[in-house]
Structure 1
Amino acid sequence: MSDLWLLAIILLGLVAGLISGRINPAVLFLFAFLLCYLLGMVALDTALTSFTNIGLVTLVLLVLAATALEKTSLLGKLSQVIGNSSLPMTMAKLGLSTALLSSFTNNTAVVASLIGVVRRNQAHAPAKLLLPLNYAAILGGTLTLIGTSTNLIVNSFVENAGLPALGFFEFTPVAVVIVVAGILLLILLANILPDRREESGEEALPYLLEAHVAKGSSLVGRSVVDNKLRALKKLYLVELERSGICICPVPPQLVLQADDVLRFSGAVESVELLHQFDGLDWFGKHQAKGQNLVEAVLAPSSSLVGSSLKESRFREQFDAAVMAIRRGNHPLKGGLGDIILQPGDVLLLTPGDGFSNSAKLSSEFAAISGLDLNVRLDSRRGRWVLLGFAVTIVLSVTGVLPLAKGLVLLLLSYFVIGAVTLAELKRRFPLELVVIVGSALGLANLMMSTGLADSLAQGLLSVINGYGVFGAFVGVYFMTLLLTELVTNNAAAALAFPIAYAIALNYGVDARPFIMAVVFGASASFISPYGYQTNLMVFNAGNYRFSDFVRLGLPLSVLYSLIVIFMVPIIFPF
């Protein structure tokens, strides 16, 4: 069997694995590339060079530098724009601020820092703001080369192909129009989002909590109503299990017995209400030592998906006890330890001393809130972090100092002033991103050298036959957009670039517009909550449904696509 067919089978398996979402993308990419090496399709020294690409090194350095940026007061100041203004004015200020900040720092950090502020504001329903905030962060990431990891990954492919590197502001003329038009559309459509305020009770934040009535408890021998278990604010007794038999609903006059299992549904702040009951042991109680609770959002690729807490031995893996589970705005039933976990589930954790150092956190969870909440740099060091980052970017844009070299010097200065520690950088090192990008670069080279990219390009061209180079450009864009909704944005860029480049070569035209089709297409994840990690973060925090993403994301995706399709060929002629 020829290398072309072998590679095609390997890539088909890779795409199938990515779409399933059951296996970590980094594992899939690494396995695919290792298989190519083991089958003799690529030499070891050639394979290793894919992991030392200058674009990949720059990406890693930027991620590490963002560790210090996230500890400044810059993100916190964004919360000040949420005041008593009207909803359109609040959205305009919040959207533009978020987009600008996301253009040079991690949009995941921007969204994570604002979720709590938005949920606590009294002026507007969180569901009206969180999804537009998320979309503004995604739009802002398209403004610059460092606005999103996708741009830097594509730049790695560009340099690897021997083409001129993408400029820092090369995306900006198109992206500015996208950001302004996108935020205006979000303001116009804001009222179509639901008003699911937290005070609506059980359906607002339906965490499932489980507690066990201990022997000797003062609750034993008294009824549910006498124990005041039906008078808890934002906490509802939904089920009682006795000797393996579930009682639902729970009769108010039912007398409690030792070993009864009580299951509650309610808001996260209601957990502390369980402290008032003598002899009521709830999940995670024995690990609680006054520490802050942590909310962790399960990633689509997490190894925990499809298994229960008992089966996964969660406490042993992460040194944390699960106190409660929430799945969107759908109340859960059944034993806490027996619930089969799904992507996007929010776990309320009581962390142990080793939780924050666990190497699995970044691969298993799409977002974790509650860690390092009070860690902020003092004003002197905070100013140096921001000034140093700004100077590094300016020197890079003006050509005085290469970005990679500037970031190395910047990180060293952060070490000297104590803005970051080696332990923090070790914890934040984006190993998965390195594996995905390095493996994808190697696979892209193989797609070009074996002729597979050209064959796939010919297949796409046959579908859009007769529409010329513009039709091919549109085809590449929508192919990338579809991939980013099915898999992840970075994986979509990795799979689409070789095909886009092969099509440009086939037509004998400038590859730049096709590269831009991949760049903007890979960032167009608006319709599915699982296409991008910030989507998943707000999906749970705002109690959204899938239909909410379609309702707001589809019009935004259409507008975004129209701007890209008509502006890119003007700014970047064929």
Structure 2
Amino acid sequence: MYEQIILTGIMLTLVGCLFGTRLKPAWLFVGAIGTSYLTGLIDLESMLVNYANPSLITLILLILVSVAIEKTTLVQKLAQSLAKGSLSKSVMKLGLSTAFLSSFTNNTAVVASLISAIKDSPTHSPSKLLLPLSYTAILGGTLTLIGTSTNLIVNGFAVDAGMQPLGFFDFTLVGLGALFVGLLTIMVMLKYLPDNGKADQEVVPFYLEGKVQAHSKLVGRTVEENGLRDLKDLFLAEIIRGERRICAVTPQQEILSGDVLLFVGDIKSVPLLTRFDGLKIVHDKHEKDVEHLVEVVVSQSSKYIGKTVKEVRFREQFHAAVIAIRRGHDRLQGGLGQVQLQAGDSLILAPGNQFYALPNLKREFVYISGLDLQTHLKPKQSNLVLISFVTVLGLSILDIVPLVKGLLVLLVALVFMGTIKVNELKRRFPIELIAIVGSAIGLAKLMIGTGLAAQISDALFFLLGDFGPYGAFIAIFVMTVVFTELITNNAAAALSFPVAYALAAGFGVNPLPFVMAVAFGASASFISPFGYQTNLMVYSAGNYRIKDYVAMGLPLSIIYSITVLTLIPMVFPF
């Protein structure tokens, strides 16, 4: 009883922080399992062994091997084919190809590899392709055991709970059904996506900053007197005066020396702002480069995610000045230097001469206007990588060589041949994923071992008992979908699995349908740009609003859910 009370407090704090704070899930899960150790709920050896879970090791190796697969001509050829044919044909080709690639490789890597080609497509607007790209990458991930980190993590939970390991193609029948109806839904809803390539489309709001110099003629005059009210395609949103923020700027607001003026509007209007005497938009040596601006999209693998532009010391690191930031259509607050970078943020830079020669551009950005960031292997190397990877998967499927062994040998061989550099492995090593998954497995074991999961199950059984196992199965799926939209997919799986397993035990039925409900529910992030990494990556790149995700994602989520809830009990009976 004592252990249940402590663990309940830890789990409630974890859930509260996941939903109510911006702290990284990795820190929260490590904090939760660390507190469990300090309070005596788990010993050190039992805690550490969870970070060496076979499913987690497999996931790490897959992520690292995918570094080589990204460089193959397979992704390159797919990117080149997207420009050919009508929009519906391009979306269908993109969807099927992306789903296939995502079923065997890391889907964030697939999306990152294609963003640049899609943004530079001469035929179709990026906003018509990027959201379907993200959605089909998610759907493709549900096709196999290794298609998404969620499936491997849920398999790890299942094995630790005493179940048989899930097979490579156990997910495939349900996943194919979800992919089929998902693609049809995307094709039908395609007309509702914005066409941000049209000339008459409303301007995409960037977030620009200008500082009033002491000698400026703007000083001592009001916003209206300075002509700052009626700027074409620009809106003066805020003034920062020292530590004070002045929002809802009035025409009578006086401009003082040192004021930082924050504008929202079209990046093409930057030259207009430079005409105002003493209003400094781009600093130092970059000031003359406003006609040669560069757009970049922050990568999911950037080491600067979560840090402010000021903390990054952007000018020193990249020899470029950040003059504008956009995060979808979100309004950002405070000075540019105080904005915390996120994956998918679009930055407008005024680059110095050394910018293009920097070696870390490919690591930090998935897109740079006018630049191909992909490192492509020669055809022979590319074919060798693909054949080797398929061979490893085949040997695993046939139970000849365990997947973890095959991937380890392949990774060592790729590094030895120089196909993957050691620095690339360091950059892509998924520390945060290891922290979340290893901690989550430990917490799941504790919830089951202390009986807390059974207590929660009993409460849910009291509420759902009249609806039978199928009603409880639906409830678990819906709970997981809500979690994955509000937090992360892996965290959602971690929170839902112990309850799902205990519910199945309470009803005395096969736990596999409940386990599958968690796996497919945790992959059902379609309604929000923030629930899944690939959704966030295309948010700014496609110039989307949140309503665009809702307009396409809500029908897709409903149809996906109905399909999955119908197929799982048919394939995995209670």
The normalised TM-score by structure 2 is 0.83
Task: Name the counterpart of 1:90.
Answer: 90
How many angstroms apart in 2 are the aligned matches of 1:101 and 1:423?
25
Task: Name the counterpart of 1:226.
Answer: none
1:208 is paired with a residue whose SS is strand
Task: Name the counterpart of 1:435.
Answer: 435
Paired AA for residue 203 in structure 2: A
How many angstroms apart in 2 are the aligned matches of 1:27 and 1:317?
29
RMSD: 4.2
1:7-52 CA-partner distances (Å, limit 9, x unpaired):
1111111111111251000000000000000000111111111111
Task: Name the counterpart of 1:492.
Answer: 492
Task: Name the counterpart of 1:65.
Answer: 65
Residue 31 of structure 2 corresponds to residue 31 of structure 1: yes
How many angstroms apart in 1 are the aligned matches of 2:259 and 2:457?
63
Task: Name the counterpart of 2:222.
Answer: none
How many angstroms apart in 2 are the aligned matches of 1:317 and 1:17?
34
1:291-311 CA-partner distances (Å, limit 9, x unpaired):
976422799x99848xx755x
1:322-361 CA-partner distances (Å, limit 9, x unpaired):
3321132367687534668789754446799999779xx9
Paired AA for residue 435 in structure 1: A
Task: Name the counterpart of 1:319.
Answer: 317
Residue 65 of structure 2 corresponds to residue 104 of structure 1: no
Are 1:294 and 1:350, in contact at CA under 8 Å, matched by a contact in 2?
no
Shift of 1:265: 5.6
Task: Name the counterpart of 1:406.
Answer: 406
How many angstroms apart in 2 are the aligned matches of 1:385 and 1:277?
56
2:313 is paired with a residue whose SS is helix
How many angstroms apart in 1 are the aligned matches of 2:476 and 2:316?
42
Are 2:488 and 2:532, in contact at CA under 8 Å, matched by a contact in 1?
yes
Paired AA for residue 448 in structure 1: I
How many angstroms apart in 1 are the aligned matches of 2:304 and 2:457?
33
Task: Name the counterpart of 1:113.
Answer: 113
How many angstroms apart in 2 are the aligned matches of 1:555 and 1:568?
20
Task: Name the counterpart of 2:535.
Answer: 535
How many angstroms apart in 2 are the aligned matches of 1:502 and 1:335?
49
Task: Name the counterpart of 1:296.
Answer: 298
Task: Name the counterpart of 1:132.
Answer: 132
Moved more, 237-246 or 147-156: 237-246
Task: Name the counterpart of 1:560.
Answer: 560
1:170-216 CA-partner distances (Å, limit 9, x unpaired):
10011111111110111011112222326447x43322334568899
1:37 is paired with a residue whose SS is helix
Residue 74 of structure 2 corresponds to residue 74 of structure 1: yes
1:217-239 CA-partner distances (Å, limit 9, x unpaired):
9xxxxxxxxxxx9xx9x986969
Shift of 1:319: 3.2
Paired AA for residue 175 in structure 1: G
Task: Name the counterpart of 2:205.
Answer: 206
How many angstroms apart in 2 are the aligned matches of 1:163 and 1:153?
14
Q: Percent identity, aligned pairs only?
A: 47
Task: Name the counterpart of 1:253.
Answer: none
1:109-143 CA-partner distances (Å, limit 9, x unpaired):
22222223323334333222221221111101100
How many angstroms apart in 2 are the aligned matches of 1:466 and 1:261?
62
Give the unaligned 5+ runs of structure 1: 218-228, 251-255
Are 2:344 and 2:541, in contact at CA under 8 Å, matched by a contact in 1?
no
Assess, with a 3 A threshold, how the Cα gap between structure 1 residues 287 and 518 changes in structure 2: closer, same or farther: farther
Task: Name the counterpart of 1:2.
Answer: 2
1:252-298 CA-partner distances (Å, limit 9, x unpaired):
xxxx9998977666666888999999999654765899997642279
Are 1:460 and 1:475, in contact at CA under 8 Å, matched by a contact in 2?
no
Q: How many residues align?
A: 551
How many angstroms apart in 2 are the aligned matches of 1:324 and 1:450?
52
The normalised TM-score by structure 1 is 0.83
2:208 is paired with a residue whose SS is strand
Task: Name the counterpart of 2:42.
Answer: 42
How many angstroms apart in 2 are the aligned matches of 1:495 and 1:239?
41
Shift of 1:558: 1.1
Assess, with a 3 A threshold, how the Cα gap between structure 1 residues 335 and 27 changes in structure 2: closer, same or farther: closer
Are 1:238 and 1:249, in contact at CA under 8 Å, matched by a contact in 2?
no
How many angstroms apart in 2 are the aligned matches of 1:374 and 1:341?
22
Are 2:344 and 2:538, in contact at CA under 8 Å, matched by a contact in 1?
no
